[in-house]
Structure 1
Amino acid sequence: MRKLTAIIMSGIMSTSLMAVPTYAKEKTETVTIKLTHNMDFVTIPDAIVAAAERLNEKYESEGKNLHIEIEKDYQRIDWDEYMQNILFATKSGDGPDIFTFSGNIKDQVRSGLLLDLSDLDQSKFVEGSFDAFTVEDKVYSMPFDIPTRALYYNKDVLKGLGWNEEEVKAFPKKIADGSFTWEDFIALCQEVQKKGLVEWGMVHRPGKGNDFLDVLRMYGPAYYNEEGKLIVNQDTVTGFFQFIYDAANTLKITPQDTTQRVWTDLQKMVGEGKVFAYYGPVFSSTYVAAEAGMTPEELSESIGFALFPKSEKNPDPFTVAAPQSVSVNANTEHPEICKALLEEVYSGDSMKDLAVHGDTIFSLTSVPEVNEMEEIKTNPILESIGYMADYVVTTPPVEGESVFRDELFKQLVLLELGKITPEKAFEDFKVQIELNVDEDAVVFECD
């Protein structure tokens, strides 16, 4: 009986063990992130795609049952249309989770489109690079680069003037330390033209753009205050208008018909050494090289880049940057995953993709550590301007800035043609600002 009981108990235990359910490994959750990008420079969204791949590897090694898939949508349309499409798609419940940003950030914050990204580690970035994306102390977009605008100058022309190799090499440093001023630079443009070394001392872009706002800084305080209000300072604007008038009509270092010319002709003139100086984005040097039939390496042998110098009205050398950035949709169902993707871009091995972006578009990146990487250091243009990251100025969101910029250019056209005086240009400029910018968004500092 004892044997029979043991056999029966053994069978019961065996049956009991077989009845215990076995659970399969928890199913991996797949999250799809919609990523939208517009125009060129696809190295921006490509860096986010690569960040997703690295996060997936990290999650798998940690045993985290989460997998990120990226649904890409790359477009080539007008930027205003692009942002409107994102807004409309979001309202219909089909907006992207992450997108390259463009436009007036204050308007987009008011529309409720942008997620607060203030918890990103801003200490990893170039100082001030978030300024353009900050509204009421909250950050709404992450900068990927700092495309600096600077002075181009022709090194061969300086050698033709009698400068030795060491003097030419030291030139940008003299501007950076303040010993060579804006007034000195204008005199240099006159000298090289007068001696027949170039056809023109200085040219600029043929159409409206922020480049002219950089030169405006030579003649007084910034055109905005800490609150992001537009500042119309009569002395500053009139000083800028006087320079534009003089350069074309008195000093004659700039063609009167510069605004009537086409981009490609001006770029070719700069690349071929027919012009000593030009001001604009450093990344435009690739276009200059192409129009002159050169590689960027060949162009870098003859063209150098310098900060905008200190002047009688501007105490410090500087370069202005207009970073390209990425935002997260405030309506995303996956805010933490989206932020994790952006954090991954500037972390560890992922920084390599940020370096590739900078190298590809010929721009310093928004992360100082990345600017020390081989891709940046061996770029023929960027290798000589890394120091400029310490002089970067980024413009905060300014109400009415586009009106200010466009009206400035309208007067510039007339001034270069000699059809108006600087004083009359300011009067007309002021009237247009009064008519087209909300009075609460602008401060007039006039006599």
Structure 2
Amino acid sequence: MAQKTTTYLVIGLVVGLIIGAIIGVAVAPPKGVPKEEYDKVKSQLEELQAKYDALKSVLGTLPEDGVIKLSAWSAGSPVDYYRAENLKRAAKVLEALLRAAGLNVKIEIDSYYEHVSDWGAWKSKFVAAYEAGEAPDIISGIDMAEAAEAGWIIPLDEYIEKYSDMLKDIPDYLWDACKYKGKIWGVPQDVASQVFYYRKDVLREMGWSEEEVEALADKIAAGEVTWDDLMKIAKEAMERGLVEWGFYHRPNWGTSLEIPYYEAGGEFYDLETGKLVLDKKALK
């Protein structure tokens, strides 16, 4: 079912994009356009028309009832429910594209969200569904490298390249988080904004003037105070006995400790080989 659904989506999107391109070219008035330019555009139009005609012959593979059904599982904290809601909104956009292509197709998506505190249990739930042939078409919240090695997910490079124009709003650097062994296995679902706090009272106890304390935020934003500088300040505060820890990634259990590790240039695994690595220098 998942492969058929992917085929429907690919065909529908391509047809929609080609129709848009054909319309865009056709409405351009030839008046005042040099003959060479006009012939070039006409040739492109004919090429697009041929592709469109070829795709139309494949549209018979769509469901007779005109309904494409998808399922998705998303997970996270209580505030991350939008991960499921975004998929519902995306389905509506895709449905509009298909109808613009002349296809009376409805997209029904069962987008399930779960607040997860035990990620091991979440993975076990997905694996059980996969082995029973009941896995969702879209999944988030599982280890990408493990899922790729186990064959639970498929690489998306072909589709990302084909529909790159529709993904331009995703910053290039975010795709690195979706790569494993040279292939892309997922699409970024959101971007977390991590907030950095510092204790002014501790800085004052360290002998900072009020002007220096108040100027710190602006200096960080301007790049005048670097990560290394902050590490030195934190270490000094610890040595003076003013704090137990120079940095806290959060006040309770969590997984955000990797953020300062990454900021220090650390990596957890080699993207090409998939081997785990640990940067001792970054840990210091």
TM-score by length of 1: 0.38
Select 1:69's aligned residue among 100, 105, 108.
Answer: 108
The structure with higher relative contact order (CA 8 Å, sep 6+) is: 1
Report the residue type matching 2:218 in the other structure: A
Give structure 1 stretches of 5+ with no counterpart. 1-25, 241-447
Give structure 2 stretches of 5+ with no counterpart. 1-62
| Residue of structure 1 in register with 2:138 after alignment | 98
Change in CA separation of 1:212 and 1:74 when aligned onto 2, cut-off 3 Å? closer
1:37-76 alignment to 2 at 5 Å?
A: 37-39=74-76, 40=78, 41-76=80-115
- Secondary structure of the 1:143 match is coil
- Secondary structure of the 1:214 match is helix
Displacement after TM superposition at 1:155 (Å): 6.2
Displacement after TM superposition at 1:209 (Å): 3.9
Larger mean Cα displacement after TM superposition, 182-191 or 59-68: 182-191
- Secondary structure of the 1:71 match is strand
Report the residue type matching 1:67 in the other structure: K
1:34-433 alignment to 2 at 5 Å?
A: 34-39=71-76, 40=78, 41-77=80-116, 78-103=118-143, 105-118=144-157, 119-120=159-160, 121=164, 123-149=168-194, 151-154=196-199, 161-163=209-211, 167-174=215-222, 177=223, 179-189=224-234, 202-204=246-248, 205=250, 207=253, 209-211=255-257, 214-215=260-261, 218=264, 222=267, 224-225=269-270, 227=272, 228-232=274-278, 236=281, 240=284
Contact 1:158 1:168 in 2 (8 A): no
Superposed CA offset, 1:89-127 (max 9, x none): 233222211222322x22211222112222223653223
What is the root-mean-square deviation in Å for CA atoms of aligned residues?
A: 3.9
Displacement after TM superposition at 1:140 (Å): 1.2
Highest Rg: 1 or 2? Answer: 1
Contact 1:86 1:95 in 2 (8 A): yes
Report the residue type matching 1:129 in the other structure: L
Q: Give the total of aligned pairs.
A: 207
Superposed CA offset, 1:118-173 (max 9, x none): 22236532232122321222211111222244642246877983217983452222
* Cα distance in structure 2, aligned partners of 1:162 and 1:93: 63
* Cα distance in structure 2, aligned partners of 1:170 and 1:161: 15
Superposed CA offset, 1:164-214 (max 9, x none): 79834522224xx3x323453245457789999x86783414557451562
* Cα distance in structure 2, aligned partners of 1:137 and 1:185: 35
Change in CA separation of 1:229 and 1:210 when aligned onto 2, cut-off 3 Å? farther
Superposed CA offset, 1:351-405 (max 9, x none): xxxxxxxxxxxxxxxxxxxxxxxxxxxxxxxxxxxxxxxxxxxxxxxxxxxxxxx
Contact 1:28 1:65 in 2 (8 A): no
- Secondary structure of the 2:127 match is helix
| Residue of structure 2 in register with 1:33 after alignment | 70
- Secondary structure of the 1:152 match is coil
Report the residue type matching 1:33 in the other structure: L
TM-score by length of 2: 0.57
Contact 2:267 2:278 in 1 (8 A): no
Report the residue type matching 1:107 in the other structure: E
Superposed CA offset, 1:67-106 (max 9, x none): 1111233334532222332232233222211222322x22
Larger mean Cα displacement after TM superposition, 124-133 or 157-166: 157-166
Contact 2:74 2:113 in 1 (8 A): yes
Report the residue type matching 1:171 in the other structure: K
- Secondary structure of the 1:124 match is coil
